[in-house]
Amino acid sequence: MRVAASKLRKSGIAQRISSGKVISRSTRRLIRIAVSDDLVKIRQAERRKVEIVTDQSFELPGGKFLHISSDHSKHKGTKFAFLGTSLFPGRTEPCLLVKNEGRCFIFNCGDNVYRELQRASYLEKQCTIFVTSMDINNIVGLPGLLSPGVLPPPVVIYGPQGLRQYIRATLRACFARVPTKYTVHELLLNNDLRVGNQQSQDLMHEDELYGDDLLCSGNDSYPLVEDDHLNVISWSLCQKKQSCGFIYKETGTSGNSIALVSRKSERVPWCLKAKDVDVLVHEIDNTIHGAQIAGDQAKAINAKSLVMSGCSRTGSQELEAAKSRFGKASVALSMDHVTFTLNNNG
């Protein structure tokens, strides 16, 4: 933080810290102000970067288009937005929101997601939450999103084993209530794991409704949402530390499809399940190697486009690395509050 460091040097605080002298309360306040000012500059730079990378369009095979814009009302179609993409200063922890025809699907729930949802007015009449793994970055904002009761009922949550216990323990520790009630469906890897809420050692929270324990089907996938308009399925990405991938696919004339995988994904098991998907959203670890893996996996499943989440602010090197492996130009970086729209009419 160059600005903060410059202020501290000019005020002589840096010399006092290095010499081991006791720092007064007023001096500590100056340090906090300097660091806070620097964080504001980072956020302003991040917003300027969003303005630069937005307003792009890719023409995809099959006559479809993928539009990228900071204005979520600019294009009509299936919309997905990143309320958070990484842990970098000035950005929000991971959260992807898919929105279509009065329904929204939230994938992961990092810190400050509640604030971002309120600010962006993304909530719809029906809201379903999906968690890819039990990483703290993916679930830390979940209790805070439930307790204010802003989500429309019923609140349905899908995630790996342990998610139900985490929500119960957090809500009880904070004496929190959930006015709209909620249900947690856990995704289990094999028959040896417990089945059913009755066998869970934890008592249910007073605002919790009974959920199911879903076992892998014969093809190692979980059919989660099935109706006349869309399907959402999940599958296991990593056996050692359970991580789930998801495919959102609309039925009917549009047939828009979005696949979401995390950086923990193993290459072979999930490829056939996401074959020919319109958009592959791939979380990477902010390295050239991570971008190359994302490009390889997008090519393996014959995805029409690739969106990488978790990159640095510029991400130019990661972008070029992914394009070279993917073999297509339809590669984009995710940024906070940037809306992607998938449609058939441009």
Residue 206, domain CATH? 3.60.15.10
Tell me the β-bridge partners of 235.
221, 245
Q: What percent of the chain shows pLDDT beyond 90?
A: 16
Band the pLDDT of 48: cuts 50, 70, 90.
very low
Give the range among 102-111, 200-209, 255-264, 324-333 with minimum mean pLDDT.
200-209
Which residue has tokens 């307790």?
A: 147
Whether 1 maps to a domain, the answer reads: no
Taking alpha carbons only, the member of 265, 283, 266 closest to residue 86 is: 283
Mean pLDDT computed over every residue of the chain: 77
Whether 19 maps to a domain, the answer reads: no
pLDDT score for 45: 53
Identify which has the larger pLDDT, 272 or 138.
Answer: 138
Band the pLDDT of 279: cuts 50, 70, 90.
very high
For 90: left if phi > 0, alpha if psi spans -120 to 50, otherwise beta; the answer is left
Distance, in Å, from the CA atom of 256 to the CA atom of 222, rounded to the nearest integer, reads 20
Taking a C-beta distance cutoff of 8 angstroms, is the pair 342, 61 a contact? Answer: no
Identify which has the larger pLDDT, 214 or 122.
Answer: 214
Identify which has the larger pLDDT, 192 or 64.
Answer: 64
Instruction: For residue 118, give its domain range.
Output: 49-343
Taking alpha carbons only, the member of 286, 237, 295 closest to residue 262 is: 237
Taking alpha carbons only, the member of 191, 92, 178, 118 closest to residue 143 is: 178
β-pairing, 230-238 vs 221-226, is antiparallel
Whether 231 maps to a domain, the answer reads: yes
Q: Please report the sign of the dihedral spanned by the C-alpha atoms of residue 17, residue 21, residue 27, residue 29.
A: positive
pLDDT score for 304: 94
Q: DSSP secondary structure string, 41-108?
A: HHHHHHHHHHHHH-SEEEEETTTEEEEEES-TTSS-SEEEEEEE--SSTTS---EEEEEETTEEEEE-
Taking a C-beta distance cutoff of 8 angstroms, is the pair 326, 306 a contact? Answer: yes
Tell me the β-bridge partners of 64.
60
**CA atoms within a 13 Å half-sphere pointing along the CA-CB vector of 12:** 1
- Rg from Cα positions in the chain: 22
Give the range among 117-131, 165-179, 194-208 with minimum mean pLDDT.
194-208
Q: What is the pLDDT of residues 129-185, one digit of tens each?
A: 999 888 888 898 899 888 877 788 889 999 988 899 999 999 999 899 888 889 999
pLDDT score for 29: 61
Whether 282 maps to a domain, the answer reads: yes
Whether 167 maps to a domain, the answer reads: yes
Whether 195 maps to a domain, the answer reads: yes
* Structural domains of the chain, count: 1
Whether 147 maps to a domain, the answer reads: yes
Distance, in Å, from the CA atom of 226 to the CA atom of 272, rounded to the nearest integer, reads 20
Whether 335 maps to a domain, the answer reads: yes
